[in-house]
Amino acid sequence: MARIRVIFESGEPERVIEFDPARAPFQHDGKPGSILDVLLAHGIALEHACGGNCACTTCHVIIKGGGEKLSPSDDSEDDLLDKAPGLTPTSRLGCQAVVEDPDAEIVVLVPRYTINQISGHGG
């Protein structure tokens, strides 16, 4: 099983998600097996204004560990990331970064503004 540990800049309790990448897609937004795909399927409302089509920056996440286990970014992702608020050297678009390794251990930081405030607000 692959594992994603999700840390929230907003201070919400972290989550650990275990899943089998071979079973992707898990829902209908983003690349199959992408961080967006996995998080949405596990009740984490990562923003995805363009529907996971690599056309916005709302799904921006920061990879804190295991980044080498993700699919590499392409030019269109890199171009968009250049415009993402709070860009870091390990930033990715959640809808484009696919977990391919069945034993991957990924640590993802979700920036504060990346969570949908309506469904994600926990006080």
**According to DSSP H, which parts of 1-123 are helical?**
35-41, 75-81
User: In whole angstroms, what is the distance from residue 89 CA to residue 105 CA?
Assistant: 19
Tokens 């959640």 belong to 94
CA distance linking residue 20 with residue 101, whole number of Å: 9
92 binds ligand FES (CB under 6 A): no
> Which residue among 84, 95, 98, 115 contacts ligand FES (CB under 6 A)?
95
What are the angstrom distances between the C-alpha of 36 and each of 21, 123?
13, 23
Q: Which of 39, 54, 84, 106 binds ligand FES (CB under 6 A)?
A: 54
User: Near ligand FES by CB under 6 A, which window of 15-23, 37-45, 55-63, 112-120?
Assistant: 55-63
61 near ligand FES, judged by CB under 6 A:
no
Task: List interacting residues with ligand FES (CB under 6 A).
Answer: 48-50, 52, 54-56, 58-59, 93, 95
